[in-house]
Every structure is written in structure tokens, then in C-alpha cells.
């Protein structure tokens, strides 16, 4: 059985207990949670990490639509939002913390209104996109890594903080698809200050730390690639680390029966981090000539992977797309949301944030239409605010996993009756 299932769904008893619930609060999408509905709200009773508990158990404040901070009906708020979108010369549809149907609705209204689409976390995603577009890569999936890998190299990323159950579900599992007693694994932490606390189980053998600074990891990858080809590398250090440590890492990579290099783009927050992803990907491609090796990129929180996937399906491009000319126009720099706002090239921000209160809109001076989960942190009062439900909690939905190979169904757990972002966006578009 794979680590996660595509269509197991969830089951509920008359008492309000749900099994096999998929969690939408990080890109791993663990689908083995147990949730109970109580008088005080939802309660995670099994397999929930801190992110899951914060998401499912968060109380939803009683709130309604607002126009300029004053209460309004949903129809009034929709009409006011439509008026703003219709009159805008270049609206930005940002945030994009929604599910597949919500993102489809974003694409439709952006096409109709001549707007730009960009996710709040796309800067991290583009550390991957640029590499995929320019040179390609060799990647694996969560399930393949769980069942086959004997070496994990964590590349400059604090995986445990972003995805608290990654080690539990993928690295530390005591059984695999092929054996009830699989061989031990080696875990290498390549990077400074990475949380290693979760790399503990009977399955884990050696745990190795190479505390290189993030901006020098690319240098190490280039050196690994050169040494693997027999190139001469001078000096006692490589990337600021003792040469012997890097030579040992290369030897472990060459001996591995199935090695996996894992990174999370949001963690690679230093200048030109895409070059580190590129160097890592090129090393993986080279070593695959003589052994089996792959990359595994995590991330995808706040529906980021779903946003990029739907945008690519419908426009041919992964986010940062403008429909101002009447057709999709892709430019990774020109249509970055932060750049448009900083250069005052947009006159409206439509912000969608339905998962967590932390996906706040940027502090900007253009009018805002906010479709957000109750409690969303706002630096100022938006022109229109419409509270929306959370996929997988307040309504059913579909979301794409971080490895881009599975779309998981999300269940309506009945926390509230707030509308779907997809439905609100469709109403706004209909009113244009």
C-alpha cells in the first residue's frame, strides 16, 4: 500500500467521527487523520501534527461580509466586488490559498477581467520552475521515496518545521511495500541549523550533519558533480566544509541503491537559490548514469501546488500570467505580484486565503477585495471582505499533493456553513 491514497475518502459515524481524513494544511496531505465533531468544534483525535490541530481545531468567529468595514449582505458584497473588478485596469488575483475548484474560478474571472494571477508563495516555487523549464530534472514521489530509498539527503531545508510528519510517514516508517523488515536508512542533513529531531526510529541508521551555509550548498553540489566525473578539486575545504565530509557524502551517494535529495523551496530563501536547485538537479541527473537517484521537492502549503497546476492546465504557464491582452501572457518578472504592487502597476488586489489566518495580503495602497477565512490578519480594512470556508473542513474539495502526482479529495466536516471561494468568485464574475 502506498503512503497516501487517492480516493479512499473519509467515513463518518452518526456520532460525528471521521476516519481517513485528508489534511489540507501542508503539502504532504496526510490522509490518515481521525477527526471528531464536538459541541466545541472539531477535534483531531489521531495522527494530527501541530499544523493539523491548528487548522482543524481553530474556532471560526461569527462574521459576515463587509463593505469598507461595515456589515453587508453577501449579494451586496458580491456586487461591490464586481464593480471594483470591472473598473480596474489591471487587477491582481493573488494569495490563491484555495483548492482546485477555487483556482479554476480564479482563472475564469482573471481571464474575463483581464487580470494577473500569482500565488503568495510563488517566489519559492519559481526556484523550481526555472530549473524545470531550463534543464529538466529527475524526481520521485512520496510513495516511491518511502518504499525504496536507503539514503535521504536533506538539502538546506527545515523539513520538520514546514512538514511535521514527513519524517514519520516517509523516512522513519518501519515497513515498506517490499519488506516488513527493510534495511536501515542513512539521513544526511546538508545545511546550517536544520531541525533533526524527527530523524529517530529503529529504521534510521546513520544521521550525518554537514552544516554548510545555505548559499554555499550549490557550490558543494557542483563539486560533487565534478568529483563524480573524476575532476580534480583542490583545497582542504569545499563550500566551507571539510573536504573529507564532502568526499564521504559522494561515496554514500554512489553506493546508495536508491538515493533521494529532498528540498523545500520556501526554505531556500537566499539570493539566486534557483541555482542551488539547478546544481542539485544536475548532480542527480549525472549520478543516475551509474546508480538510482532522484529529487523530491516539498512545499505546496496554502494550496500553492494546486494553484500552479491549475494555472498550467488552463493557460499553459505556471502562475505569473496576465490576461490583460485577451490571451495568456507569461512573464516571471513582470507579472510577479510583488513587483506589480511595488511599481504601482495594478489598481486592485483580489486576495483569496481560505486555509489559514496567516496568509495575509501584502501591505499595499491599492483597494482590496478579500475572500478570506475568518480571523485572517489584515493590515488595513479592505474595500470588500467576504468570509469563505476552508476546503476539507467547511466544505468538500480537491487538492494537489506536493509531488504533483496525486489529487486528494477533501471532506466537508461541517465546521461551518461558510461559502466556497469558488462559488463566491463565480458570483462576482457573473455580476461583471
Contacts 24+ apart (CB under 8 A), 233-238: none
pLDDT of residue 15: 60
- Based on the fold, state whether residues 416 and 277 are members of the same structural domain: no
Give the separation between CA 226 and CA 223, rounded to whole angstroms: 5
The answer to whether residue 6 sits within a structural domain is no
**Euclidean distance between CA atoms 16 and 37, whole angstroms:** 5
In this structure, the answer to whether residues 220 and 316 fall within a common structural domain is no
What's the pLDDT score for residue 39?
86
Does any domain span residue 2? no
Instruction: Check residues 412 and 16 and name the one with the higher pLDDT.
Output: 412
Q: Which three cell numbers stand for residue 46?
A: 489521531
Residue 11 has pLDDT above 80, yes or no: no
Which grid coordinates are listed for 42?
A: 472539531
Helices (H), 199-330: 217-228, 243-255, 273-287, 304-315
39, 57, 75 - which closes a domain: 57
Do 89 and 117 lie in one domain? The reply is yes
- pLDDT on residue 109: 98
Structural domain includes residue 247: yes
Read off the pLDDT of residues 169-223 as tens digits, 9 standing for 90 and up. Answer: 999 998 888 777 788 999 999 999 999 999 999 999 999 999 999 999 999 999 9
What backbone torsions phi and psi does residue 71 show, to the nearest 5 degrees?
Answer: -55, 145
In contact, 124 and 300? CB cutoff 8 Å = no
pLDDT over threshold 90, residue 88? yes
pLDDT-based confidence at residue 2 (cuts at 50, 70, 90): very low
> Among 100, 93, 103, which Cα is nearest to 324's?
93
> Do 195 and 338 have their domain in common?
no
Q: Does 131 share its domain with 279?
A: yes
How far is residue 355's CA from residue 148's CA, in Å, rounded to a whole number? 33
Residue 22 confidence (pLDDT): 97
Domain C-terminal end among 265, 299, 333: 299
Q: Is the pLDDT of residue 287 over 80?
A: yes
Q: How far apart are CA 269 and CA 254, in angstroms?
A: 29
Q: Is the pLDDT of residue 8 over 90?
A: no
pLDDT at site 196:
95
Task: Say whether both 152 and 267 belong to one domain.
Answer: yes
- Above pLDDT 70, what percent of the chain? 97
**Does some domain include residue 277?**
yes
Q: How confident is the model at residue 414 (pLDDT cuts 50, 70, 90)?
A: very high
Same domain, 267 and 129: yes
Same domain, 89 and 202: no
Q: What is the DSSP string of 154-196?
A: EES--HHHHSTTHIIIIIS-S--SS-SSPPPEEEEEESTT---
Q: Is the pLDDT of residue 38 over 50?
A: yes
> What is the grid cell recorded at 57?
481545531
Tally of structural domains, the chain:
3
Task: For residues 141 and 234, state if they share a domain.
Answer: yes
Domain assignment of residue 1, yes or no: no
Indicate whether 5 belongs to any domain: no
Domain assignment present for residue 3? The answer is no
**Judgement on whether residues 174 and 290 belong to the same structural domain of the protein:** yes
Q: What is the CATH number of the domain that holds 117?
A: 3.40.50.740
- Whole-prediction pTM: 0.92
Asked if the structure places residue 385 within a domain, the reply is yes
Asked if 165 and 307 sit in the same domain, the reply is no
Question: CB-based burial of residue 125 (10 Å sphere; 0-12 exposed, 13-18 middle, 19+ buried)?
Answer: buried
Domain that holds residue 176: 125-299
Whether residue 180 sits in one domain with residue 163 = yes
Domain end position, chosen among 279, 299, 319: 299
Q: CATH number of the domain at 158, please.
A: 3.40.228.10
pLDDT tens sequence across 94-148:
999 999 999 999 999 999 999 999 999 999 888 888 888 888 899 999 999 999 9
- CA dist 103 and 319 (Å) reads 11
Task: Quote the percentage of the chain above a pLDDT of 90.
Answer: 85
Amino acid at each position: 500500500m502506498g503512503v497516501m491514497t487517492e480516493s479512499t475518502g473519509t467515513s463518518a459515524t452518526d456520532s460525528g467521527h471521521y476516519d481517513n481524513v485528508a489534511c489540507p494544511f501542508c503539502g504532504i496531505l496526510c490522509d490518515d487523520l481521525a477527526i471528531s465533531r464536538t459541541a466545541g468544534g472539531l477535534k483531531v483525535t489521531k495522527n494530527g501534527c501541530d499544523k493539523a490541530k491548528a487548522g482543524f481545531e481553530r474556532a471560526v468567529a461569527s462574521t459576515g461580509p463587509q463593505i469598507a468595514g461595515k456589515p453587508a449582505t453577501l449579494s451586496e458584497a458580491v456586487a461591490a466586488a464586481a464593480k471594483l473588478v470591472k473598473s480596474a485596469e489591471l487587477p491582481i488575483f493573488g494569495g490563491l490559498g484555495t483548492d482546485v475548484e477555487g483556482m479554476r474560478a480564479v482563472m475564469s474571472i482573471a481571464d474575463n477581467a483581464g487580470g494577473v494571477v500569482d500565488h503568495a508563495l510563488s517566489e519559492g516555487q519559481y526556484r523550481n520552475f526555472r530549473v524545470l523549464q531550463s534543464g529538466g530534472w529527475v524526481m520521485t514521489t512520496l510513495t516511491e521515496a518511502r518504499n525504496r530509498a536507503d539514503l535521504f539527503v536533506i538539502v538546506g531545508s527545515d523539513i520538520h518545521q514546514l512538514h511535521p510528519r514527513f519524517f514519520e510517514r516517509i523516512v522513519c516508517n518501519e515497513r515498506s511495500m517490499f519488506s516488513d523488515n527493510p534495511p536501515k536508512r542513512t539521513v544526511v542533513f546538508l545545511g546550517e541549523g536544520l531541525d533533526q529531531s524527527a530523524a529517530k526510529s529503529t529504521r534510521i541508521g546513520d544521521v550525518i550533519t554537514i552544516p554548510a551555509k545555505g548559499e554555499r550548498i550549490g557550490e558543494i553540489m557542483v563539486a560533487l558533480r565534478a568529483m563524480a566525473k573524476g575532476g580534480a578539486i583542490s583545497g582542504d575545504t569545499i563550500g566551507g566544509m571539510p573536504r573529507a565530509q564532502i568526499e564521504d557524502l559522494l561515496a554514500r551517494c554512489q553506493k546508495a541503491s536508491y538515493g533521494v535529495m529532498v528540498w523545500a523551496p520556501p526554505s531556500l530563501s537566499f539570493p539566486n537559490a534557483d541555482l542551488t536547485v539547478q546544481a542539485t538537479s544536475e548532480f542527480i541527473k549525472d549520478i543516475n548514469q551509474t546508480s538510482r537517484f532522484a529529487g523530491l521537492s516539498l512545499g505546496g502549503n496554502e494550496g500553492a501546488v494546486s494553484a500552479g497546476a491549475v494555472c498550467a492546465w488552463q493557460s499553459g504557464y505556471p502562475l505569473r500570467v496576465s490576461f490583460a491582452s485577451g490571451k495568456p501572457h507569461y512573464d516571471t518578472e513582470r507579472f510577479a505580484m510583488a513587483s506589480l504592487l511595488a511599481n504601482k502597476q495594478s489598481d486592485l488586489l483580489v486576495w483569496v486565503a481560505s486555509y489559514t489566518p496567516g496568509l495575509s495580503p501584502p501591505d499595499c495602497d491599492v483597494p482590496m477585495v478579500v475572500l478570506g477565512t475568518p480571523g485572517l490578519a489584515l493590515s488595513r480594512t479592505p474595500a470588500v471582505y467576504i468570509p469563505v470556508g476552508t476546503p476539507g473542513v467547511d466544505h468538500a474539495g480537491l487538492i494537489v499533493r506536493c509531488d504533483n502526482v496525486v489529487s486528494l479529495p477533501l471532506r466537508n466536516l461541517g465546521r461551518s456553513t461558510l461559502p466556497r471561494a469558488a462559488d463566491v468568485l463565480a458570483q462576482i464574475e457573473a455580476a461583471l
